[in-house]
Amino acid sequence: MALAADGGDSVTGEVAVLGAGMHPWGKWGRSFVEYGTAAARAALDDAGIDWRDVGSIVGADTVRGGYPGYVAGATFAKALGWQGARVTSVYAACASGAQAVAAARAQILGGLADVVLVVGADAAPKGFFRPAGGDRPDDPDWLRFRVLGATNPTYFGLYARRRMAVHGDTQEDFARVKVKNAALGALNPYARYRKRVTAEEVAASAVVADPLRLLDICATSDGGAALVLSSVEFARRHGVARPVRIRAVSTVTPRYPTTVLDLPDIATDSAVAVEPSAEAFRASIARAAYEEAGLGPDDLSLAEVYDLSTALELQWYEDLGLCGEGEGAKLLREGVTALGGRLPVNTSGGLASFGEAVPAQAIAQVCELVRQLRGEAGDRQVAGARVGLSANQGLFGHGSAVIVVR
């Protein structure tokens, strides 16, 4: 399927992105509501839309915000000023933002609202994330801490060691990812870490989960992001003749059995009775998005992926179909995924530069794609950007990918 001609009819299933807004990432010591409200107002200003004209608000929940965090949609609606809009709250861990975008898109396509505000924000703890309190022996996220003491960096280290063993990746390859992303984050005013680093600095940083160093692993952060979405017809009535459009949102789940470890599960499912799928979970997330959009990896101008660790970014290259299995490091070494390369990845600076503000990050990825497709990314700009893809995954089998076109 070809892209719609400039100014022509949109493809069925598309929605327009009228506005994108963010609150800078950092450790600010304030409520997540403050970050989300600031991001929402920025998105509304960017869209030229008054809050009173929003027909629905979808909030991506944070489990660390207490009661208000579990009802983020209503919390942000109240903070902006009750005005009678529909409200939805969603939670899917790191995929919460994409789930919120999917919910907003469905409401627009279903005719329930012309304009929907999507908001996600978090005030994250220092250090690694841990499960909510209480005994839950049927919860794999709780079990991995209680039984194994396996924090998230433990998984990141296992992913990295597997790539080294199976594909021959090196610690120098992992460091190259950090160097690339830090250089881009230094150009992004919303990033928490805005300092270039060298491979030598990565190698000299403390070992956290062998073979990964401190600079190989993303931090936890405060931050917020928001989008104003509408029907394409409303966008044109609003005076936006060529809006950036969301063409696909993938929120698929894994297929039984899975034979490669995946957060939060550390044991593999039995393959005695059922043959494993030939496709890994993350690869299925991208494939579903490509199929819905009628596009493929060769159509992409750029991608934003969830680099929880440097090694995981290399895995995403393969899962998105940017290269063959085991060829991620080669793609990186050849400069393909750097700014100016054939397919830049994480032009925002990625989690390496932002850290995790969990409900906001998938929305922030789309914000970066929108700015790139509008030609508003400044020194990070990808020349001639027309198609962008964001990808991450959430705990408990939440897929997350969004394809944005212009």
How many Å apart are CA 317 and CA 255, to the nearest integer?
21
Domain contains 121:
yes
For residue 225, the cross-strand partners are 22, 120
103 with 178, same domain: the answer is no
Does 391 score more than 70 pLDDT?
Answer: yes
* Residue 38, domain CATH: 3.40.47.10
261 with 331, same domain: the answer is yes
50 with 85, same domain: the answer is yes
Say which amino acid occupies 227: L
Domain contains 268:
yes
Phi, psi of 6 (to 5 degrees): -55, 125
Residue 277 binned pLDDT confidence (cut-offs 50, 70, 90): confident
Please give the pLDDT value at position 7.
Answer: 42
Q: Tell me the per-residue pLDDT of 79-129, one tens digit each, with 9 for 90 and over.
A: 999 999 999 999 999 999 999 999 999 999 999 999 999 999 999 988 878
Does 46 score more than 50 pLDDT?
Answer: yes
Domain contains 51:
yes
Asked if 115 contacts 230 with a C-beta cutoff of 8 angstroms, the reply is yes
Residue 20 host element (H or E): strand 15-26
Does 233 score more than 90 pLDDT?
Answer: yes
Does 232 score more than 90 pLDDT?
Answer: yes
Give the three-state DSSP class for 36: helix
Domain contains 258:
yes
Domain contains 52:
yes
Q: What percent of the chain has pLDDT over 90?
A: 78
Q: What percent of the chain has pLDDT over 70?
A: 97
Please give the pLDDT value at position 265.
Answer: 77
147 with 274, same domain: the answer is yes
230 with 199, same domain: the answer is no
Domain contains 29:
yes
Domain contains 123:
yes
Helix orientation angle between 281-293 and 310-319, rounded to the nearest 10 degrees? 50
Does 2 score more than 50 pLDDT?
Answer: no
Please give the pLDDT value at position 47.
Answer: 98
Residue 342 binned pLDDT confidence (cut-offs 50, 70, 90): very high
Does 287 score more than 90 pLDDT?
Answer: yes
48 with 109, same domain: the answer is yes
Q: What is the mean pLDDT of residues 196-207?
A: 98
Displacement of CA 83 from its chain's centroid (Å): 30
Phi, psi of 134 (to 5 degrees): 100, 160
Residue 260 binned pLDDT confidence (cut-offs 50, 70, 90): confident
Write out the residue range of the structural domain in which residue 76 sits.
Answer: 15-127+223-245
Q: What is the mean pLDDT of residues 140-164?
A: 89
232 with 208, same domain: the answer is no
Domain contains 351:
yes
Q: What is the mean pLDDT of residues 360-381?
A: 98
H helix runs in 186-243, sequence order? 199-204, 232-237
Query: What are the Cα distances from residue 144, in Å, to 84, 269, 384, 399?
Result: 43, 16, 45, 21
How many Å apart are CA 258 and CA 110, to the nearest integer?
34
195 with 231, same domain: the answer is no
Round the average pLDDT of the chain to a whole number and report it.
93
Q: Tell me the per-residue pLDDT of 11-23, one tens digit each, with 9 for 90 and over.
A: 778 999 999 999 9
Contacts of 175 (CB under 8 A, 6+ apart): 199, 202, 203, 215, 216, 310
79 with 170, same domain: the answer is no
250 with 344, same domain: the answer is yes
Q: Tell me the per-residue pLDDT of 294-327, one tens digit each, with 9 for 90 and over.
A: 999 999 999 999 999 999 999 999 999 999 999 9
The total of structural domains in the chain comes to 2
41 with 173, same domain: the answer is no
Does 267 score more than 80 pLDDT?
Answer: no
Does 268 score more than 80 pLDDT?
Answer: no
Residue 245 binned pLDDT confidence (cut-offs 50, 70, 90): very high
235 with 333, same domain: the answer is no
